[in-house]
Amino acid sequence: MLTDVYVTKNKYFDKDPISRVLFGSIFGESIVLAASDELWSKKRKVLSQAFYKEKLIKMTEVIR
């Protein structure tokens, strides 16, 4: 169920407006608090390539 909410069907769930108020000064206009619209979808596709499991494992090894 969590995979559905956070990955598969994420575009159907908008961020809580209160989160924008609480964390807006930290995240600004980043994708973290952006509304789930077409621009958000394009940004997410570009960013998702950096977070594939294999890439994360390689980055962890480099950091160590």
Average pLDDT, the chain: 81
**pLDDT tens, N- to C-terminus, the chain (64 residues):** 667 766 777 767 777 788 888 888 998 888 878 887 888 888 888 888 887 888 888 888 999 9
The model's pTM:
0.52
Per residue in 4-22, is it b (16+ CB within 10 Å) or e — as a string? eeeeeeeeeeeeeeeeeee
